[in-house]
Structure 1
């Protein structure tokens, strides 16, 4: 297992893989578990297992990329498994993750998608409150479709931590104090 940066990930537009999002604990257990599950489901064929696995961090979440190059697998069954287990594993294709999470233009040079600032630090931490604030920020910035997509993903996420990671994929999380300072037209200086 190798660690890669999101900048390295952005260059992988010519590859395909399975991205599992929000992994915690011992990552080798995740790899072994995914290999075992996919073998049981008849997806990995002829004793093959994922060996080329990369780890990367994005928006506070640890993710695994399982390279599909030179793999003996049933891609149709893998596609169905990915859809059925999405709420559990956050599985997506690399070719979907790059444009939708990292803003990569799959037909051109890598480009970072602009995310609007959203003052969530210092707000009531109820996830529905935070989701509402983030959705309102997206709509105010002409990103209504992204607001809808974000809400759907959060309500299906199943955990507070995953929901926060999802919000961070759509907006730059800032503090209420930062927003108030900017509203006043000046930045307060720290004095020690």
Structure 2
């Protein structure tokens, strides 16, 4: 049975960098909603390999009961989910967390970005686990264990070395922090990352 935890809209504003789907106006038995959505998305081939939303959050906003289905740790076909969300929008009011918070709650709280520990990538060996370990230590020393755990989860499920470096640079202040990830055509021209050995 999925865990449904109550959160506030203020806690939602602290979820910058995370993604999920919010369904609005979920009245009645919340466990039935979660089971029903898990069933629908499995049937539609959106939830993959027996994956389910096991940890869902419920919050109140503008007299509506809303459910947040976080993508963290769930294997899904995001393209199919995007189509499903558009097709069922009239029924479920589905929206992305990253759209809901700026449009309904005034944006994400930026305090985490002001407190980012500094870490240089230049001169590091190219071992991503060594870099990840240093970044985790710095975050924990700065009292941000939750951020360190979240960073670790995101990096270990990322698809490439460059993506992993950019994720780390969201949590600690590195040379990459102020740059957006390079486009694929740009990467091809440049070849290997300057941090790879």
Shorter-chain TM-score range:
0.5 to 0.7
Per the TM alignment, residue 93 of structure 1 is displaced from its structure 2 partner at its CA by 0.3
Give the unaligned 5+ runs of structure 1.
Answer: 111-192
> Is contact 2:8-2:60 (8 Å) kept?
yes
**Which residue among 42, 66, 79 is the counterpart of 1:63?**
66
Change in Cα spacing, 1:7 to 1:44, as seen in structure 2 (3 Å) is same
Q: CA deviation at 1:105?
A: 4.8
- Mapped to 2, the partners of 1:83 and 1:109 lie a distance apart of 33
Q: Cα RMSD (Å) of the superposition?
A: 1.5
Taking structure 2 as the reference length, the TM-score comes to 0.53
Structure 2 distance, partners of 1:39, 1:24, is 22
Report the alpha carbon displacement of residue 71 of structure 1 after superposing the two structures with TM: 1.1
- Could you tell me which residue of structure 2 aligns to residue 136 of structure 1? none
Alignment-derived partner of residue 32 in structure 1? 35
The match for 1:74 is 77
Q: Distance in 1 between matches of 2:44 and 2:108?
A: 33
Aligned to 1:183: none
Q: Which runs of 4+ in 1 moved over 4 A?
A: none
1:163 matched to which residue of 2?
none
The answer as to 2:21 corresponding to 1:18 is yes
Q: Distance in 2 between matches of 1:45 and 1:96?
A: 24
Aligned residues: 109
